[in-house]
Amino acid sequence: MADPVAEALRIIHDADFTPFEHKILAEDFIQSAFDPTLAAAEVLRAVNGRDHGVSVDEALLTLKRDWHQLLQLVAQPAAVTDSVRQLLNLRDNGRCCVTPADYKHIHVEPSHVISPALKALWENNGNPRLFAMLTAYLTPAKVQTLKKSLSPASDSMALYNVLLLSPSLGYSVRNGHVQIMPSKIYWTQDNKPTVSSTASVVKYLILEPSREYYGDTFLANGQSLRSKRNRNVLHLKTHSPETLPLPHPELLEIQSKLGHALLNFFTEKFVKTNGAVLSESDPSNFWSRPFQLLFRRLWHLVPFFIRAKGYQYLFRSAAMYGSTSVYELPLGLFAKRCDRSDDNEPAALALLEKYAPDVPAPLLIDKFQDLDNVKWMISTKLPGTVTMATIFRMSYPQRREFVRDLAAVIKQINDIPNNTGRFICGAGGGRIYDWRCAMAYGCGPFDTEEAFTRHLSRDSYVEDAIPSAFNTKHRSVFTHSDLHTCNILVHNGRLTGIVDWESSGFMPEYWDFTKVMRITKNKDEIDMYRKIWGNKYDHELEVEKYLWQGTPLGGPEELEHERVTLPPTNWPLARFHALTKPY
């Protein structure tokens, strides 16, 4: 008998749809359902029971519209009775449960976890079509739980479905812009939440999953949620679990799933309204590479003490860029501390410029030390936006073009010759600065792949579990070593830059693949990497997964005196204003 899930997914993916339409039906409705088999059966029913003359694509689009109509009911606000409001104020002390207690709570209001508007699906003849979809998505058992919660037998039981929030937070939670999820300490090994419905204290996580800017969510004191300290943590408390119970964890789980599905409709509409691909910087607004090379040549004719004055002047307008070690300067330049990886990134940029000039990497402009002996480099800014923020907006043709671009660039990177005399090493032939082998310490260099793998494994149990782990031979090639989508820039679907080369070096040929597959969870990104590498290094990926369990940050610690000392995160920028010498 055919698998209904596989059959429904095949039908959806065969439809001539946009990536968003495929995602909403395949991932959100089927794969994220509490029982994907039931959801798939609902899709097959809609397709097989369609009217004469209605195509499969039209039947699926009707199902998508019904799904959206159902989800919109979840976002509808609804009033609570005065008696429930009084109990809610007692439980939550009249404060927004997300806003810190020492903040002013100017405006708070009750907000349902699941809107009672859903009762319209089964009351007063209801809406059989949408109710069938809800049942297929939630399962009949959870629908019965939902019915009881939306028609509580007492005011105390009504508290299972109510939170006290700022109006902005209430709107964001209902619409999926903010999600409240159990902390991992409450999850089982098979990813099932186990929060007790009678607990007096529960720790939740607050997530903002939207990839589009929909505006700030505000706390009860008017400040942005993003300004809240520990904004991702929420502690719910009650002094009487029997009479003043906390929100039911099952309802929060249902709301989180439905809210996330509704969010994707919001994002789909945003993309249609604002264009297919977001880009913060147009390549046409940047200096050409020949001009940058000419500028650098002329700039280095200037004595260093004058160049230092120029950098000090530019740093007056510097803005921290994502971390405490990278600063954006005027004139399309970046300043970056190199203390975490010594001279590895400047060495990598020099290799790229010499052997792979067509790779869209930053151009190294200068490097120097300050009075604290902290090493710095100045490089050019690249156009485009991080791929993580844009890949889900790309059309299928744009994704194919992007994959071709990236595959071609990776080949150019891998073809850079290794003239260091070491088999596994950093870009300049020295230590490797990679989170897989303890970034703050560095490791190596190594003369054989086996020595490198044994360093990562640390213990002999790996050889017993996977005998081939130390026997497989690979080429040593130049790799970026951190090729996740935050470091890849794109504009209008075309690759425009690859940044953050501090971990690069000569590594086993599978290294870039296993590194990105370790951290990538997004299906679109996984599909992209699979189109580049295929299944060629699946065995190496399994070995790496096994190693990650015991040594996620690499092998044994190096000697303390060899450790790279990192400046504190509050390192004063004023020290930059005393540049001592180039290095």
Sketch the domain layout of the chain as residue ranges. 4-274, 283-383+568-582, 385-562
- Token digits of residue 390: 């844009």
For residue 420, what pLDDT band results from cuts at 50, 70 and 90? very high
**Lowest-confidence pick of 52-56, 249-253, 263-267, 557-561:** 557-561
pLDDT score of 211 more than 80:
no
Say if residue 302's pLDDT is above 70: yes
Backbone angles phi, psi at 385, to 5 degrees: -125, 150
Q: Contact, 47 vs 64, CB < 8 A?
A: no
pLDDT at 496: 94
C-alpha radius of gyration, the chain, whole number: 28
Q: What pLDDT, on the 0 to 100 scale, is given for residue 338?
A: 87
Q: pLDDT tens-digit profile of 353-382?
A: 999 999 999 999 999 888 778 889 999 999
Top CATH class of 385-562 equals alpha beta
Looking at residues 83-89, what average pLDDT do you find?
96
The pLDDT value given to residue 216: 81
Predicted pLDDT at 583:
58
How many other CB atoms are found less than 10 A from the CB of residue 466? 17
CA distance 246 to 239: 10
What does the DSSP assignment read for 409-474?
HHHHHHTS---SS-SBEETTSS-B--GGG-TTT-B--BSSHHHHHHHHH-STHHHHH-GGGGT---
3 state DSSP class of 224: strand
Predicted local confidence at residue 340, as pLDDT: 79
Tally the residues of the chain: 583
pLDDT attached to residue 573: 43
CB 174 within 8 A of CB 203: no
Confidence band for 154, pLDDT divided at 50, 70 and 90: very high
Confidence bin at 558 (pLDDT 50/70/90): very low
- Segment 160-178 mean pLDDT: 93
- What pLDDT sits at residue 260? 92
Closest CA to 497 of 319, 332, 250: 332
* 197: CB partners within 8 A, 6+ apart: 160, 245, 246, 248, 249, 250
Q: What local confidence, expressed as pLDDT, does residue 273 receive? A: 80
pLDDT of residue 291: 93
Residues 6 or more apart in contact with residue 339 via CB below 8 angstroms: 325, 374, 375, 564, 565, 566, 567
Q: What is the pLDDT of residues 519-533, one digit of tens each?
A: 888 888 999 999 999
Cα 46 to Cα 270: distance, rounded to the nearest angstrom = 28
Q: CA-CA distance, 562 to 540, in Å (whole number)? A: 30
State how far Cα 479 lies from the chain centre.
Answer: 22
Expressed in angstroms, the distance from the first to the final Cα of the chain is 69
pLDDT at 551: 64
Rounded distance between C-alpha atoms, residue 250 and residue 154, angstroms: 19
Euclidean distance between CA atoms 74 and 92, whole angstroms: 23
DSSP string, 499-541: ---TT-EEEETTHHHHHHHHH---HHHHHHHHHHHTTTTHHHH
Strand partners, 426: 505
Q: In the prediction, which pLDDT does 439 show?
A: 56
pLDDT of residue 493: 84
Please give the mean pLDDT across all residues of the chain: 86
Rounded mean pLDDT, 524-547: 91
- Among candidate residues 161, 154, 75, 73, the one with its CA nearest the CA of residue 120: 73
Greatest alpha-carbon span in the chain: 84
Q: Is 534 left (phi over 0), alpha (psi -120 to 50) or beta?
A: left
What is the predicted pLDDT for the residue at 196? Answer: 67
Please check the confidence at residue 469 and state whether its pLDDT lies above 80. Answer: no
pTM for the model? 0.81
| pLDDT value of residue 231 | 64
C-beta of residue 442 within 8 angstroms of C-beta of residue 429: no
Mean pLDDT of 412-433: 96
Higher pLDDT, 231 or 122: 122
Q: How confident is the model at residue 103 (pLDDT cuts 50, 70, 90)?
A: confident
Report the pLDDT value the prediction gives residue 229, as an integer from 0 to 100: 59
Per-residue confidence (pLDDT) for residue 36, from 0 to 100: 97
Domains 283-383+568-582 and 385-562 share a fold: no
The per-residue pLDDT for 377 is 95
H-helix or E-strand containing 319?
A: strand 319-320
Q: Give the CATH number of domain 283-383+568-582; options: 3.30.1490, 3.30.200, 3.10.580, 3.40.470.
A: 3.30.200
324 has a pLDDT exceeding 50: yes
Q: Coil, helix or strand for 477?
A: strand
43-70 tens-digit pLDDT: 999 999 999 999 999 999 999 999 999 9
**What is the rounded CA–CA span in Å between residue 334 and residue 355?**
23
Predicted local distance difference test score (pLDDT) of residue 320? 59
Residue 226 has pLDDT above 70, yes or no: yes
Q: Which of these ranges, 163-167, 201-205, 354-358, 417-421, has the smallest mean pLDDT? A: 201-205
Report the percentage of the chain scoring pLDDT > 70.
84
Q: Which amino acid is at 553?
A: L
